[in-house]
Amino acid sequence: MTKLSVNINKIATLRNARGGNNPSVTQVAKDAERFGAQGITVHPRPDERHIRYDDVMQLKDVVTTEFNIEGYPDARYLEIIEKVRPTQATLVPDPPHVLTSNAGWDTVERVDFLKDIIAQIKEWGVRTSIFVDPDVKIVEGASSVGTDRIELYTEPYASYYSKDREKAVGSYVSAANRAQELGLGINAGHDLDLKNLAYLKEKIPFMNEVSIGHALVCDALYYGLENTIQMYRKQLA
């Protein structure tokens, strides 16, 4: 079964635009789980443009499924992971000023850095996942740094899906197959939606988890959050 983790960053963005606590990030997390989400994902950036430090601390006591915290592994992020001890820490290579994640780790160039960070996080009893491009050599590098899982960066797949879905998914299938051979868990995320998700699942049926935020929240404006989460779950059935 491929689990659906709902990224609630955009809920925090909406709240921050007006101030106050409407919509409530913690209430949406609880509702998302009640509606069928099998995990909650957040990415607390240093500028707190969406999820704030306080949100993460409150969510620690609210999330009852899997809590996934994404971020660049600087001192601030590691402090959060140590305090919260989430189910999963997903390491992304993007620096603080980047609008959204736009590339995976170079697991060959950054092998020593990633090894040390991952070893520390695993000492805290937290599962690790690292954001990677769909490249077999990068996946092999991910295995060498000791991570439990990889998260395939799916924006290129989503961008090319409408033109040639078979070609779009090819490198992802190769990377996922190699990851499975190496004993790595496989997550995926970025620009996945109701149009392209089922085909990715069909081609990589052994994915552990997908993390979806922007598209899911946009769809919820039309269909409602409960219906939308069920629609995404059906794509993964």
113 confidence band (pLDDT: 50, 70, 90): very high
State in Å, rounded, how far the first CA of the chain is from the last one.
7
- Where does the pLDDT of residue 235 fall: very low under 50, low under 70, confident under 90, or very high at 90 and above? very high
* Pairwise pLDDT comparison (142 vs 95), residue with the higher score: 142
* Confidence tier at 175 by pLDDT (50, 70, 90): very high
The H-or-E segment that residue 173 falls in is helix 165-181
pLDDT tens digits for range 12-50? 999 999 999 999 999 999 999 999 999 999 999 999 999
Domain of 74? 3-235
Tell me which of 33, 70, 151, 209 is the catalytic residue: 70
Amino acid letter for position 123: E
Provide the number of structural domains found in the chain: 1
Q: Is the pLDDT of residue 236 over 90?
A: yes
Percent of the chain with pLDDT strictly greater than 70 = 97
- Is pTM, for the whole model, over 0.85? yes
Average pLDDT of the chain, as a whole number = 96
Angstrom distances, CA of residue 197 to CA of 29, 155, 161, 188, 217: 22, 12, 10, 10, 15
| pLDDT value of residue 103 | 78
Report the C-alpha gap between 134 and 146 in whole angstroms. 18
Evaluate if residue 101 carries a pLDDT over 70: no
What integer pLDDT is reported at residue 94 of this predicted model? 78
- Cα separation, 135 vs 57, in Å, equals 35
CATH for 165: 3.20.20.70
Token pair recorded at residue 71: 């971020």
Residues 182-206: b if buried by 16+ CB within 10 A, e if exposed: eebbbbbbbbbbbebbebbbebbee
70 is catalytic: yes
Q: Cα 12–124–185 angle (5° rounding)?
A: 75
pLDDT of 1 over the 80 cut: yes
Each residue of 151-167: pLDDT tens digit? 999 999 999 999 999 99
190 catalytic? Reply is: yes
Catalytic residue among 33, 50, 66, 190: 190
50 as an active site residue: the answer is no
**pLDDT confidence tier of residue 180, bands split at 50, 70 and 90:** very high
- The catalytic position among 33, 43, 50, 151 is 43
Q: What is the pLDDT of residue 25?
A: 98
